[in-house]
Amino acid sequence: MTQSKHHPRQHKNRLFNYLPLALTLLALAILGSCTPPKPDASANLAYFKTDSSQVQTGGVKMIPVTTASGKHKVWTKRIGNNPKIKVLLLAGGPGIPHDYFEAFENFFPSEGIEFYYYDELGSGNSDKPTDTTRYNINSAVEEVEQVRKALHLDKDNFYLYGHSWGGLLAMEYAVKYQDHLKALMVSNMSSSGKEFNRYVRQVLAKQIPAADMQRINQLSENNNYGNPEYMQLVMKHFYARFVCRIPIENWPEPLTRALSKTNQPYYNKLQGPSEFGLLGSLKDWDISGALNLINVPTLMIGAKYDEMDPEHLKWMSTQVKNGQFLYCANGSHLSIYDDQQFYMKGVIRFIKQVNQK
């Protein structure tokens, strides 16, 4: 091959052709060197570190609480690590422990949501004093506040979630202590005992075969709640329809485990022995007129087959200052299980919306 010959001026022209590109790259390099560096991820490492001088317990913390009868300890457990999103879970009942919330472990951690189990005093893994004078809403609210302080939850990261009785407790807490809250979630809980009883007696009871409902009423009138026949009828016609619509023999183990550990005296004192209406002290409870005092972002969750009227839950979402409503069209009182994917996605979406704002 013959080698081509180029005039020196041709080489010079080529250099001038590349000069603009070279100057542009140089300018970008200079600008890049002047751009402030991104925050070092190691800045938050202190939050994730464990104290090597202390025995580690997998996130479990026994928290001292003061009651009228003295000091006791309640059980809590942290799952996940996120200093900006901390969700405290309040279980139902009253008196049902945290166990049935274990389903959250399949959803929250992968979304970067830190959350806390908590067993109320007298329930689950917490101390079980025999004093029953603390079986009232005010004592329960003050216990939550003591737990909040011990877990270092505040208005910048504290999301309070309550299911059923836990939802009642969450609303009462928000009315009194919302200055410490970032957001509130109320799942499957109406705003008054009167409203609860109206819906159960006027709507749900009419969906039960007349002969079976008559027998349930007979056993109730005779205070024969311990009769196996009563429980059999209630499980078939109430729990299977309005509490969890998964076939009872296939109910998730965390749910059956939680129910087996219910603090029955606590439950009976506030709820009463019947599922067909509140007979305990909660029958006169009413927070409807105070919902407008709640200013923090609030999610109300209702379901088509719930024992609570979903239309009333939707109304509640309009009474708070910054409310949203999540409707589970396939769920019941435990939509956390029988409409699980929709339920969890809705809760996670709400948490992330609040966090982004």
Which one is catalytic: 98, 119, 126, 164?
A: 164
3-state SS assignment for residue 117: strand
Which residues are registered as beta bridge partners of 78? 116
Whats the size of the chain, residue-wise? 357
**First CA to last CA distance, the chain:** 70
* 146 in Cβ contact with 66 (< 8 Å): yes
Tell me the residue type at 94.
Answer: P
Provide the token pair at 14.
């080529």
Can 164 be counted among the known catalytic residues? yes
What tokens were used for 17? 């052709």
Catalytic annotation present for 306: yes
What's the rounded Cα separation, in Å, for the pair 160 and 139?
17
Q: 119, 306, 338, 339: which one is catalytic?
A: 306
**DSSP letter, residue 339:** T
Contacts of 238 (CB under 8 A, 6+ apart): 204, 208, 275, 276, 307
Q: Exactly one of 333, 335, 338, 339 is catalytic; which is it?
A: 333
User: How many CB atoms sit inside 10 A of residue 101's CB?
Assistant: 25
The DSSP code sequence of 227-252 is: -HHHHHHHIIIIIIIII--S-GGG--
317 counts as catalytic: no
- Listed in order, strand segments (DSSP E) in the chain are 60-67, 70-79, 86-90, 114-118, 158-163, 183-187, 298-303, 323-328
Residue 271's identity, in one-letter code, is Q
Positions annotated as catalytic residues are 164, 306, 333
